[in-house]
Amino acid sequence: MIKLIAGLGNPGAEYAATRHNAGFWFVDALARQTGASLSNQKNFHGYAGRAHIAGHEVWLLQPQTFMNRSGQSVVALARFYKIMPDEILVVHDELDLPPGAVKLKRGGGSGGHNGLKDISAHLTTPEYWRLRLGIGHPRTQLPAGSQQQVVDFVLKPPRKEEQDAIDDAMSRSLDVIDLAVKGDMEKAMMRLHGAGGRSA
């Protein structure tokens, strides 16, 4: 079962609408859906709160450490409540999926995502669950780009049509969150990955 859902992003108003904050957007939407309230929890270096999902109590977390130190926040809460890596779902922006695509998976590499890299280092394992929200890649809009182009891309807001597609992917993800929390990951993946054929 999932006991902690951590959405990744950067704190501060200047980052709130940027692609890199898709994980924050998802946790905000989930908090609204469940009536959960997040508050600043200094011990966990982030905004955190309990939500009741599918009859289970689940922690929601938005690390406030900046992206490349996300693991500090995730591990602080997980250790305190004795939550194992395979009971954690990390929600993050994914460059390798187009806007509107979404994929649920367990384990794997970081794909260059600094938040995942830090979480894996702090947990000392990559074997936690990830919900990958596609944001697209600058190479689909620009000539083959440098790392700086990628940074500029993720730290800018999506275009309207991209935002609409990302919002749709989040809505479909929220529809299967009950299954994920209950540990029925196979059914959650089948339903999510089959939705509209957009989450390859």
Instruction: Name the residues annotated as catalytic.
Output: 20
Taking the CA atoms of the chain, what radius of gyration do you get in angstroms? Answer: 16
Directed axis angle between helix 160-175 and helix 22-34, to 10°? 50
SS3 9: coil
User: What token pair was written down for 114?
Assistant: 């600094």
Burial class (CB in 10 A: 0-12, 13-18, 19+), 182: middle
Residues in the chain: 200
CB 133 within 8 A of CB 102: yes
First to last CA, the chain: 24
Q: Which H, E and C letters describe 40-107, residue by residue?
A: EEHHHCEEEEEEEECCEEEEEEEECCCHHHHHHHHHHHHHHCCCCHHHEEEEEEECCCCCCCEEEEEC
